[in-house]
Structure 1
Amino acid sequence: MTTDVRVLEPAERDAWYGNLIRAFGGVDESSEERELWRALTEYDRSIGVWDGDECVGSAGAFTFELSVPGGACVSAAGVTMVSVAATHRRRGVLTSMMRRQLDDVRSWGEPVAVLTASEPVIYGRFGYGTGTLNVSAEIDTARVRLSVPPGTDDVRLRYAPPADVLDACEAVYARLVPGRPGMLARRPGWERVALLDPESERGGASALQCVVAERDGEVAGYARFRVKPEWTPSGHNGTVVLEDLEGLDPVVRAALWRFLFGVDLTTTLRTRGRPVDEGWQHLVSDIRRCNLRTRDALHVRLVDVGAALAARTYQAPVDVVFEVEDAFCPWNEGRWRLYGDPKGASCARTEDAADLALSVVELGSAYLGGVSLASLAGAGLVRELRQGAVAEASAGFTSAVAPWLPHGF
């Protein structure tokens, strides 16, 4: 098979995007969704694989800033829109795109690539490790009660059309980004993704609703949600479907959660994609009736090991030499000495003896501080070559708050 891997031209986008839609089941999107993703497409960072005039593969890379432990943001390529035509499986199409893309990301000077995976098994062979988990819940609000901290009653809540308060909500989100690893500093245009509201994806629920939380006249938090009414012979049985909730402090967040627990004519609150350490889990009366489920979220790939490890800080002092395996990006292979503490870090090549041996996949998993090196060592994926090195490095890499990806891309 002879195929051509090349940068996407605007005139080719319909064929390129059509291949993507077909690969994900062929269900068409609303015109609103299509136009938004068209506007967000970065053509010079998108590639297609062509067999003659037919597009048989697609991949893109959004320009992102990713928050890391310590509060800094690192340039990251947000890998997206990856597809291979079913007629061209097992012919090296995906590998050729991943090869071209990671070479490009390196040339752009971006030390990290990230993605969300339709199938997690796919991307490990290209050096991606699961870096964050999200939690979903289906809370029986007819039985579960929520305790709230003092001051919650001082927070004013009001309904507002989502578009009317978008700027104020984005300002809240932006203030939160440095405080939790894994969040994306949104570039202009990305705020519109949160307002996508095609009727075809509501599942019988209402149009998107928004409540803002105010203190001293300023917006300090918000919740975007839908309500799905349902009635049984014994009465109401509706569901609140939470899409997004942010607050600047625990009191504001508690006020928003209390509101959601008490929406009229509902008995269930359904959430998805929330931080695994979110505070509401400690305020509920019965965690079992919240039906928590976790799943992988952000997959992380260190494209430049030295630059990536130097871009974050470390909870405890670290002086460790890694022996890194990276067959797909061999420029990362070899020994790297990491010095780090809560104030900063440096990472450079060294000839010193290695303390830990691992692949770039494990480094990607541990990078944001949510997956411990000790846990990976317990699975046999990190080898300790100097006694005590696992405990030292694991303590340094850990984040005080769990990393979290707030939305897909």
Structure 2
Amino acid sequence: MSTDIRDIPEAHVDRALDLAYLAFHEKTGDATRKRHREALLRCERVGAYDDGEIVGFAAAHRLGLSVPGGELPVAELDFVSVAPTHRRRGVLTGMMAGMWRRCAADGRPLACLWASEDAIYGRFGFAPATEAYSVEIDTTRPLGLRITPDRRPLRLLAPADAVGVLAPLYEAGRARRGGRLSRDEAWWRRALLSGDEDGDDGKDGPSRIVVLGDKGAPAAGYVVYRVGEKGVVTVGEMEAPDAPAAAALWSYLAAIDLTRKVRAWAVAPDDPLLHFAADRDQVRVTGRLPALWLRLVDVARALTARSWAVPADLVLEVRDAALPANAGRFRLTADPSGATYEPSGDPADLALDVRELAACYLGGVPLRRLVRAGLAEERTPGAARSLDAALETEYLPFAGDDF
């Protein structure tokens, strides 16, 4: 391959965007392009050049990812694209290798992305570590509930006033669940609270923000949504720390006048709505999708930085074709006070690829399922169940950012 992998300077950002739009068959207007350009100026940008032309492009946002017990730096990959003329020539492999070098230099033990094509990213060590459900509520009749909603008042909030109210609730949610990305004020205004842009289909109204709780008091929950011309309420994001707060917000959405349906494209699999709804014919799960794909770039740091539910003492034999430093046999000794992960010459209790370790890292995918699927090998009976118990979390990991 004659391509040269190097950083993309600011002067080439528009050329990189042109390649991304070509690869994803996208047509965007000026406002969307401006938003993308501003985001890329704050990112790391890796490009593949062939005779001076950009034929591959990948960006990485520098963010934090909530993991059980804390947060770790993560490279959030975006705009990953290869020119159709240069597919299957090692361009993406070269760019990924460049990203791993940057992660090592900057001390980022994790990388993540939303996969446009699932078949691509497994070979680079990524695995879906969170799952999301799509939910639809028939609101032609009142939403039946088995619990009493939170009785505090609901109020509409102007986007200009929203960040200071919503951000603390979001951060509290990140502390409860793994898989959630850090946000700054620019993210809130650009991605969640923005109004209509060119490129929209013109059928949805502007974002609306409703907060649960008295004015002047800490908010007890929020929802961001839009209403389409066909009477469909589309939920962008909801944050509710408990079931009564969630019930109040879902009830509000279901009771909006001149609407007939509520759709949420991504809710956590353990969302309480799926249990406190009185009629599951009225509240239906319409889809399941692998959401955030995770890559353990530095396995040792990732494992020793997260919390552990119960003690475990296991030898793991890890395969990692792309990052040999992760490969080998290691003893994981963990308990609620912390963990160590050291090279070991002892026989392995479990053998698995780094992508299977990434799948179960946040506590959302039990390793024993991967053993039953033939994707990991249990060499000591009970070892997979022991690791699952140690990885378990109170709340399932969840990612609702389609960045």
Specify if TM > 0.5: yes
* Residues in 2 aligned to 1:34 and 1:199: alpha-carbon distance in whole angstroms: 10
Unaligned runs of 5+ in 2: none
**Alignment match of 1:248 (pick from 241, 248, 259):** 241
Q: Deviations over 1:363-390 (max 9, x none)?
A: 0000110000011111011111112211
Q: Deviations over 1:54-79 (max 9, x none)?
A: 21110011111111112x00111111
Which range moves more in the overlay, 166-175 or 361-370? 166-175
On the 8 A contact 1:3/1:50 being kept in 2, the answer is yes
2:316 matched residue in structure 1: 322
2:44 matched residue in structure 1: 45
Q: Deviations over 1:112-135 (max 9, x none)?
A: 111110011100001111101111
**Aligned Cα RMSD in Å?**
1.8
1:234 matched residue in structure 2: none
* Residues in 1 aligned to 2:44 and 2:302: alpha-carbon distance in whole angstroms: 20
1:16 maps to amino acid:
A
Aligned to 1:163, the other structure's residue is in SS state: helix
2:208 maps to amino acid:
Q
On the 8 A contact 2:48/2:91 being kept in 1, the answer is yes
On the 8 A contact 1:144/1:285 being kept in 2, the answer is no
* Residues in 2 aligned to 1:339 and 1:201: alpha-carbon distance in whole angstroms: 51
Distance of aligned partners of 1:336 and 1:42 in 2 relative to their CA distance in 1, 3 Å threshold: farther
Aligned to 2:260, the other structure's residue is in SS state: strand
1:19 matched residue in structure 2: 19
Distance of aligned partners of 1:45 and 1:134 in 2 relative to their CA distance in 1, 3 Å threshold: same
1:284 maps to amino acid:
A
2:307 maps to amino acid:
T
Is residue 254 of structure 2 the alignment partner of residue 261 of structure 1? yes
- Give 1:206 deviation, angstroms: 1.1
Q: Deviations over 1:241-266 (max 9, x none)?
A: 11111123332222111100111111
2:227 maps to amino acid:
V
- Give 1:86 deviation, angstroms: 0.8
Unaligned runs of 5+ in 1: 231-237
* Residues in 1 aligned to 2:52 and 2:142: alpha-carbon distance in whole angstroms: 58
1:152 matched residue in structure 2: 150
Which range moves more in the overlay, 114-123 or 214-223? 214-223
**Alignment match of 1:395 (pick from 389, 397, 400):** 389
On the 8 A contact 2:43/2:61 being kept in 1, the answer is no
1:180 matched residue in structure 2: 177
2:336 matched residue in structure 1: 342
Aligned to 2:199, the other structure's residue is in SS state: helix
* Residues in 1 aligned to 2:370 and 2:102: alpha-carbon distance in whole angstroms: 30
1:10 maps to amino acid:
E
Aligned residues: 399
Distance of aligned partners of 1:144 and 1:395 in 2 relative to their CA distance in 1, 3 Å threshold: farther
- Give 1:53 deviation, angstroms: 2.9
Is residue 259 of structure 2 the alignment partner of residue 304 of structure 1? no
Aligned to 1:287, the other structure's residue is in SS state: coil
TM-score by length of 1: 0.93
* Residues in 1 aligned to 2:44 and 2:363: alpha-carbon distance in whole angstroms: 28
Distance of aligned partners of 1:144 and 1:121 in 2 relative to their CA distance in 1, 3 Å threshold: farther
**Alignment match of 2:73 (pick from 72, 75, 79):** 75
Aligned to 2:171, the other structure's residue is in SS state: helix
* Residues in 1 aligned to 2:85 and 2:51: alpha-carbon distance in whole angstroms: 14
On the 8 A contact 2:43/2:62 being kept in 1, the answer is no
* Residues in 2 aligned to 1:199 and 1:258: alpha-carbon distance in whole angstroms: 32
- Give 1:83 deviation, angstroms: 0.2
1:233 matched residue in structure 2: none
- Give 1:223 deviation, angstroms: 1.1
Is residue 163 of structure 2 the alignment partner of residue 166 of structure 1? yes
* Residues in 1 aligned to 2:76 and 2:41: alpha-carbon distance in whole angstroms: 11
Alignment of 1:9-408 (within 5 A): 9-31=9-31, 33-41=32-40, 45-70=44-69, 72-143=70-141, 145-147=143-145, 149-150=147-148, 152-153=150-151, 155-192=152-189, 193-197=191-195, 198=197, 200-201=199-200, 204-215=203-214, 217-230=217-230, 238-292=231-285, 293-408=287-402
Distance of aligned partners of 1:83 and 1:228 in 2 relative to their CA distance in 1, 3 Å threshold: same
